[in-house]
């Protein structure tokens, strides 16, 4: 049984030694590769501790000879030279290493090294051994997250070198797991370090390496220690800060709501301005007729359109009485008397003109109306009554009277003439008709008009035609066949200059075709044409 145990122990020991050797060899390889990178001179020498001094150089496999061909001699200052036994080791990339190892190097004294191959000096170097330290990386690197966020506590074990603890310098690198750029912190003669300014809730990779500080001892940076991963603490929510933030936000919201509610109307007006609509001007246009303007015009009395003040912004219109001449014949046109003459002064003039001229116009609707004979009788009676009752009032009023009763014929032969006469005159104003025709009644009125004009002076006959009709008799209806229409005009701007009064009688049409043109819609019920056929 004891043999069995012993053999097992032996096996374990051998395995342990082999592992150590393997680890040692791996460590040596690491250092060799480091030296190859750091040291340009040959041979490359480094000391790992007080008792391990190694020198080596590299040669290509093809050109290298056997170990026996080489000799390594070293000489301390003021001492005799000594020789170092060499050994050859294979290296990566088809190279061979020749290594010299000294157990007890002398420090703080100059050492001269010479390498010979077959009596030929191939390498020569002078160095101080305490200045070529290449230590092992720090062991037992531990990282712990401290109580505060963004901090990590790193601690390690310094290389076991007596007399050199206070000469050591460490570098601690901390990288986040996904980035290659990290922080490097340096610390001297200490075996722990607190990393600050780290991100919370982040995993960090921490490594440490060591080097002697260069005052008494010097050397190369060791290899990085094996990485240690640690996550920093998450960011804590400071209760006080959170509560303060919540309270202040509540207060802000409450204040803003109060302001909004107090200025509700103002805000609504600004955000949601009322779009102006013309509904107020057109009563019933949108609500009843749905925006159909034609319908609305037809159904209502016009409102704004029929008021002359819409155009002239002048005084209120004075009533206009339209008297039309009627002939007893049924074929004669008979314009209907407008029920409210005051509302249609301008149209009445036009109507009267057409009636007097006996001009036909193809308007079937009107022609139908005109053929209603009972209506004619009623009209004549009405007119007579009007003359008799309102004569005085008519004459005394300020209104202007215009008689357009010059054309008494109304015969069919004349309509052509009348038509011809009327057609150019149609372009002119009704008053032109008044002054152009040379009939007696018209002349009378014409002369009266002239006197009235004279009396009015050279100013414009702007507001009211204030000429009277002095000769009442001419007004009397001359027979049942005559119907007189008294046209009261107002709002007519006429410029009668004294010069033009007598001369331009025929051309006294000053005002433009305002009456005629501005109210086209009203023509229809008042246009009177005579159909030759009747």
215 binds other proteins (CB under 8 A): yes
> Least distance (Å) from other proteins to the CB of residue 127?
13
> Least distance (Å) from other proteins to the CB of residue 108?
3
In terms of CB distance, is 106 or 175 closer to other proteins?
106
In terms of CB distance, is 108 or 310 closer to other proteins?
108
Site string for other proteins, 155-184 (x = CB under 8 A): -------xx--x------------------
> Least distance (Å) from other proteins to the CB of residue 207?
28
With a CB cutoff of 8 Å and minimum separation 6, the contacts of 167 are 189, 212, 213, 215, 216, 217
Cα diameter, the chain: 172
> Least distance (Å) from other proteins to the CB of residue 18?
29
Report yes or no: 441 and 406 within 8 Å, Cβ to Cβ.
yes
> Least distance (Å) from other proteins to the CB of residue 50?
4
> Least distance (Å) from other proteins to the CB of residue 151?
29
> Least distance (Å) from other proteins to the CB of residue 192?
18
Q: For the sheet containing 152-157, what is the strand order?
A: 139-145, 152-157, 192-195
Q: Determine how many CB atoms are found less than 10 A away from the CB of residue 142.
A: 13
Q: Is 299 exposed, middle or buried (0-12, 13-18, 19+ CB in 10 A)?
A: exposed
107 binds other proteins (CB under 8 A): yes
Q: Which stretch binds other proteins (CB under 8 A): 28-36, 101-109, 263-271, 314-322?
A: 101-109
108 binds other proteins (CB under 8 A): yes
Cα separation, 307 vs 285, in Å, equals 18
The residue within the footprint of other proteins, chosen from 39, 69, 76, 336 (CB under 8 A), is 76
> Least distance (Å) from other proteins to the CB of residue 218?
10
Cα separation, 241 vs 425, in Å, equals 95
Q: Which stretch binds other proteins (CB under 8 A): 4-12, 76-84, 456-464, 500-508?
A: 76-84
Cα separation, 294 vs 307, in Å, equals 18
Looking at the DSSP bridge assignments, the partners of residue 54 are 46, 101
Q: In three state form, how does the secondary structure of 238-266 look? A: CHHHHHHHHHHHHHHHHHHHHHHHHCHHH
106 binds other proteins (CB under 8 A): yes
Looking at the DSSP bridge assignments, the partners of residue 220 are 134
The residue within the footprint of other proteins, chosen from 30, 50, 414, 523 (CB under 8 A), is 50
What secondary structure does DSSP assign to 472-516, as a single string? Answer: HHHHS--STT----PBP-BS---B--HHHHHHGGGG---S-THHH
Report yes or no: 413 and 479 within 8 Å, Cβ to Cβ.
no
The residue within the footprint of other proteins, chosen from 78, 120, 277, 280 (CB under 8 A), is 78
Of the candidates 145, 206, 139, 164, the one whose C-alpha atom is nearest the C-alpha of residue 49 is 164
386 binds other proteins (CB under 8 A): no
The residue within the footprint of other proteins, chosen from 48, 58, 59, 130 (CB under 8 A), is 130
**Cα-flanking dihedrals φ and ψ of residue 42, to 5°?**
-120, 140
In terms of CB distance, is 108 or 293 closer to other proteins?
108
Cα separation, 503 vs 511, in Å, equals 17
The residue within the footprint of other proteins, chosen from 82, 110, 142, 256 (CB under 8 A), is 110
> Least distance (Å) from other proteins to the CB of residue 105?
8
Q: Which stretch binds other proteins (CB under 8 A): 81-89, 105-113, 290-298, 515-523?
A: 105-113
In terms of CB distance, is 130 or 354 closer to other proteins?
130
Helix (H) or strand (E) holding 352: helix 345-357
> Least distance (Å) from other proteins to the CB of residue 77?
8
What secondary structure does DSSP assign to 24-38, as a single string? Answer: HHHHHHHHHHHHHHH
The residue within the footprint of other proteins, chosen from 5, 37, 104, 281 (CB under 8 A), is 104
* Total number of residues that touch other proteins (CB under 8 A): 18
> Least distance (Å) from other proteins to the CB of residue 84?
16
190 binds other proteins (CB under 8 A): no
The residue within the footprint of other proteins, chosen from 8, 20, 51, 87 (CB under 8 A), is 51
Dihedral in degrees, nearest 10, Cα atoms 158, 159, 162, 163: -60
Report yes or no: 229 and 203 within 8 Å, Cβ to Cβ.
yes
216 binds other proteins (CB under 8 A): yes
With a CB cutoff of 8 Å and minimum separation 6, the contacts of 354 are 333, 335, 361, 422, 526, 527, 528, 529
The residue within the footprint of other proteins, chosen from 9, 17, 109, 251 (CB under 8 A), is 109
128 binds other proteins (CB under 8 A): yes
In terms of CB distance, is 86 or 111 closer to other proteins?
111
| Residue that is written with structure tokens 């075709």 in the block | 513
Length of the chain: 534
> Least distance (Å) from other proteins to the CB of residue 72?
19
Contacting residues toward other proteins, per CB under 8 A: 50-51, 76-78, 104, 106-110, 128, 130, 162-163, 166, 215-216
């Amino acid at each position: 049984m004891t043999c069995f145990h012993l053999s097992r122990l032996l096996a374990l020991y051998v395995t342990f030694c082999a592992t150590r050797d393997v680890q040692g060899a791996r460590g040596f390889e690491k250092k060799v590769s480091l030296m190859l990178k750091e040291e340009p001179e040959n041979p490359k020498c480094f000391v790992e501790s007080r008792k391990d001094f190694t020198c080596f150089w590299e040669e290509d496999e093809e050109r290298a000879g056997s170990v026996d061909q080489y000799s390594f001699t070293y000489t301390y200052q003021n001492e005799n030279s000594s020789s170092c036994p060499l050994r050859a080791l294979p290296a990566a990339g088809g190279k061979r290493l020749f290594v010299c190892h000294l157990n007890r190097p002398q420090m703080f004294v100059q050492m001269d090294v010479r390498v010979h191959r077959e009596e030929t000096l191939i390498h020569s170097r002078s160095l101080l051994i305490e200045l070529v330290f290449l230590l092992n990386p720090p062991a037992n690197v531990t990282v712990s997250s401290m109580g505060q966020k963004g901090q990590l506590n790193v601690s390690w074990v310094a290389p076991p070198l007596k007399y050199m603890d206070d000469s050591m310098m460490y570098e601690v690198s901390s990288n986040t797991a996904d980035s290659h750029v990290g922080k490097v912190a340096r610390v001297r003669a200490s075996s722990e370090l607190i990393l600050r300014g780290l991100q919370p809730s982040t995993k960090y990779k921490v490594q440490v390496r060591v080097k002697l500080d260069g005052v008494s001892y010097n050397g190369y940076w060791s290899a990085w220690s094996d990485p240690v991963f640690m996550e920093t603490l998450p960011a804590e929510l400071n209760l006080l800060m959170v509560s303060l933030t919540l309270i202040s936000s509540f207060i802000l919201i409450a204040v803003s709501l109060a302001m909004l509610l107090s200025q509700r109307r103002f805000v609504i007006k600004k955000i949601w301005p009322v779009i102006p609509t013309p509904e107020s001007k057109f009563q019933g246009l949108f609500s009843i007729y749905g925006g159909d303007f034609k319908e609305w015009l037809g159904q209502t009395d016009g409102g704004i359109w029929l008021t002359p003040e819409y155009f002239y912004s002048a005084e209120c219109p004075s009533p206009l009485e339209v008297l039309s001449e009627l002939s007893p014949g049924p074929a004669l046109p008979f314009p209907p008397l407008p029920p409210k003459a005051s509302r249609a002064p301008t149209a009445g003039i036009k109507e009267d003109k057409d009636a007097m001229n006996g001009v036909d116009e193809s308007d079937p609707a009107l022609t139908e109306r005109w053929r209603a004979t009972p209506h004619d009788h009623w009209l004549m009676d009405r007119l007579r009554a009007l003359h008799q009752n309102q004569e005085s009032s008519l004459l005394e009023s300020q209104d202007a009277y215009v008689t357009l009763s010059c054309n008494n014929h109304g015969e069919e032969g004349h309509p052509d003439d009348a038509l011809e006469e009327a057609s150019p005159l149609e372009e002119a104003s009704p008053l032109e008709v008044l002054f152009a025709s040379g009939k007696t009644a018209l002349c009378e009125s014409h002369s009266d008009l002239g006197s009235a004009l004279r009396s009015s002076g050279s100013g414009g006959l702007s507001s009211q035609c204030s000429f009277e009709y002095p000769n009442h008799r001419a007004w009397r209806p001359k027979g049942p066949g005559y119907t007189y229409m008294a046209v009261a005009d107002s709002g007519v701007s006429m410029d009668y200059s004294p010069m033009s009064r007598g001369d331009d009688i025929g051309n006294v049409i000053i005002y433009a075709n305002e009456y005629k043109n501005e109210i086209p819609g009203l023509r229809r019920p008042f246009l009177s044409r005579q159909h030759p056929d009747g």
